[in-house]
């Protein structure tokens, strides 16, 4: 029998499934607008002053390095990151799947406000939190996780436009960071080799299906 628990967090009150096998793996996508987007649908929203990590980082970019104002804004950024990550609910989570930071710069061209330093800060905070809760951390290559439709598996650059993901193959629409988090949580996706990047198939789109050779051209898909 499926059991439910009510969980109150800073984001609101959620009805969560207890002992649901699917919730054992939590995928997390890291971005500038919603710092943390989870495969269970939870995302960091703006803080009580209306700030997001993006607005804080933009503010920081305008400050003179070494000035008091810079220091204040940098502290705000650090507090915001800690606050965002602390919202993660690791109850019933056995494995936390995150993007491999080594691959992240090429994998996420849209995150220009996030410096390598900020990513490192967020990921080390995530890993610390997981350790405290005795949750295993696994890392996945982020390539194509933001372009893949989490419903039908079709990968195309045009499916993603900023915060909106709308699949060019099946029309499925979802927040683009949540879509990426669901793909990150999917442990049945075999990794795509980096040599694939320059192939023309990448431009026309392809299916990246569970438990199969990752590259399935549109014409070869068995429906």
**By the criterion CB under 5 A, which residues form the site for Zn ion?**
149, 151-152, 154, 167, 169-170, 172
Nearer residue to Zn ion within complex by CB, 51 or 151: 151
Of 88 and 155, which CB lies nearer to Zn ion in the complex structure?
155
Question: Which one-letter DSSP state was computed for residue 98?
Answer: E
Q: Which is nearer to Zn ion, 74 or 201 (CB)?
A: 201
On the CB side of 212, CA atoms within 13 Å amount to 13
Element (H, E) at 13: strand 12-18
Tokens of 217: 């051209």
- Whole-angstrom distance, CA of residue 10 vs CA of residue 216: 41
Nearest approach in angstroms of CB 152 to Zn ion is 3
In the complex with Zn ion, the residue whose CB is nearer, 23 or 150, is 150
Q: Is 101 left (phi over 0), alpha (psi -120 to 50) or beta?
A: alpha
- Minimum CB–partner distance for residue 14 and Zn ion (Å): 26
CA separation for the pair 105, 109 (Å, rounded): 7
CB of 163 to Zn ion, least distance (A): 17
Provide the 8-state DSSP code for 118.
Answer: H
Q: How many residues does the chain have?
A: 223
Beta bridge partners of 136: 95
* In the complex, least distance from residue 173 CB atom to Zn ion, rounded to whole angstroms: 10
Q: Which is nearer to Zn ion, 14 or 172 (CB)?
A: 172
Considering the complex, what minimum distance in angstroms separates the CB of residue 155 from Zn ion? 9
Using an 8 Å Cβ cutoff, are 95 and 58 in contact? no
């Amino acid at each position: 029998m499926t059991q439910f628990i009510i969980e109150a967090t800073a984001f609101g009150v959620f009805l969560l499934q207890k002992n649901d096998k699917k919730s054992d793996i939590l995928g997390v996508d890291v971005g500038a607008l919603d710092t943390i987007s989870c495969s269970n649908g939870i995302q960091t929203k703006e803080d009580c002053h209306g700030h997001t990590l993006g607005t804080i980082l933009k503010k920081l970019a305008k400050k003179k390095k070494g000035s008091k104002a810079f220091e204040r804004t940098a502290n705000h950024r650090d507090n915001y990151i800690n606050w965002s990550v602390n919202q993660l609910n690791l109850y019933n989570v056995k494995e936390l799947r995150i993007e491999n930071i080594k691959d992240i710069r090429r994998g996420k061209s849209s995150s220009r406000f996030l410096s390598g330093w900020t990513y490192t800060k967020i990921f080390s905070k995530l890993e610390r939190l997981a350790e405290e809760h005795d949750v295993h951390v696994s890392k996945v290559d982020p390539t194509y996780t933001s372009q893949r439709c989490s419903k039908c598996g079709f990968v195309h650059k045009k499916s993603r436009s900023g915060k909106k993901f709308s699949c060019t193959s099946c029309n499925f629409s979802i927040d683009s960071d949540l879509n990426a988090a669901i793909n990150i949580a999917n442990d049945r996706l075999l990794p795509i080799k980096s040599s694939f990047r320059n192939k023309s198939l990448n431009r026309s789109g392809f299916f990246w299906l569970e438990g199969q050779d990752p590259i399935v051209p549109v014409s070869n898909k068995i429906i």
